[in-house]
Amino acid sequence: MSELIRKYNQPGPRYTSYPTVPFWKDMDIDKEAWKKSLVEAFKVRRNKEVSLYIHLPFCEQLCTFCGCHKRITKNHAVEEPYLLTVLKEWQLYTFFLGEDMVIKEIHLGGGTPTFFQPENLERLIQGIRALSLFDPNVSLSFEAHPNNTTEEHLKTFRELGFNRLSFGIQDYDPKVQKTINRIQSFEQVQSVHQLALDYGFTSVSHDIIYGLPHQTLESIQDTIAKTAQLRPHRISFYSYAHVPWIKGVGQRGYSEDDLPKNEEKQALYEYGKAELLKLGYEEIGMDHFALPEDELSIAHHKGELHRNFMGYTTQSTEVMIGLGMSAISDAWGAFAQNDKHVEDYQATINSGELAVFRGHFLSEEDEIVRRLILDLMCRYKASIPAQIAESEFINQELLQELISDELIHYKGNELEILEKGKPFLRNVCMCFDLKLNQREKREQLFSSTI
């Protein structure tokens, strides 16, 4: 395995979209064309089902591992004007899409959604409900910081119909926590985790990251052991993405020498994965594990798992609208991203215009490759259409290496990722990334795949 890690550990996308953001071609997106793409998306699907991602960017302190778009502040006066802007943005969408859209899913991400006061979050959700229809089985979820998630937060969210939340844990080791500026005790996590269960949340997820500065096999062992005590329904076991050339000051707060390297980092993953499997979790996709009774595991077995900018989901709505600063929307045939600065975003929305500033309108070829990569990410297998298999931009050298190393099985037009090959899922997808394979240099675009 060590030889394979050295061989395949190269910069590559995480494939929350295809094409990936660096290869989007519309750096000054035509807003009217974007609106038209959403209208057409609903016409093609003959329904008006939609998922909402709402980006709540504020955090009281900087976690230095974080790659998200955020604003660090302790000034909670920013809450109300920001949320009013989000509601105005949704109203702009309802103006041309209609108030008969059916919301299948809402996810609050950040930033730190629990930075916001419960009464303000309630005002946000009730405001959206007043402007649109909610599916009877709507999925409502939010991301939470264990240190500032209060009982009132949990009570309010449950009363609003939320049944799923995700706690950002990362690692329990004090040295690691100090380095990444994310100090939270196991006792605090245990308390708020149990409180969520007491309030009736049916799916509680924990995010754990491997590859953090000063992280060791011993610290991962301790983190997994503590996690086992709480037994969350889902676990996201992520590889730390070290991209200081993109994220700047935060990720430059420690040296690359502080990070576990290649085989050492992979050993953290292999240990964590093995322990999670022993604990009864199932590997349902890249970085994701769930208990067999969790709806993600059930969807995985049924071949119904979906993946978008919110991650893995059971909701297969192909239209997703992102609200808030930096949020990304997806009309299946087009992507659009909002302004990445709070002030610019708010000024544009409050002037009566959508805040999208860049995007990509997918070609027929893009859509075919997108579906192929989605199948690989959600099902570990895909049928390769002839027009893609015959493209000059398929990375045939990488593909043949993956076959030779017995990481994938590829016969006819059917490709399956073998158990040994699952840690190299991103590499498999890269074989068919026609945009990536046309570019000679990629070092400064993505984090390493391992």
143 labeled binding residue? yes
Cβ count near 401 (within 10 Å): 17
Residue among 154, 147, 191 nearest 170 (CA):
147
DSSP 163: -
33 labeled binding residue? no
63 labeled binding residue? yes
405 labeled binding residue? no
Distance CA 224, CA 271 (A): 9
Sequence-distant (≥ 6) Cβ neighbours of residue 234 within 8 angstroms: 166, 203, 204, 205, 206, 288, 289, 290, 291, 294, 296
Distance CA 282, CA 273 (A): 9
252 labeled binding residue? no
241 labeled binding residue? yes
DSSP annotation string for 210-237? ES-TT--HHHHHHHHHHHHHH--SEEEE
Task: For helices 151-160 and 118-131, give the axis angle rounded to 10 degrees.
Answer: 10
Q: Which two tokens stand for residue 252?
A: 């430059």
68 labeled binding residue? no
135 labeled binding residue? no
Distance CA 169, CA 144 (A): 10
112 labeled binding residue? yes
Half-sphere exposure of 59 (CA within 13 A, CB side): 24
Sequence-distant (≥ 6) Cβ neighbours of residue 26 within 8 angstroms: 358, 359, 360, 361
Q: Which two tokens stand for residue 402?
A: 């993956």
Answer for the pair 325, 57: CB distance below 8 angstroms, yes or no. Answer: yes
328 labeled binding residue? yes
82 labeled binding residue? no
Binding-site residues for S-adenosyl-L-methionine sit at: 53, 65-67, 110-112, 143, 170, 182, 207, 241, 328
Binding-site residues sit at: 53, 59, 63, 65-67, 110-112, 143, 170, 182, 207, 241, 328
Binding-site residues for [4Fe-4S] cluster sit at: 59, 63, 66
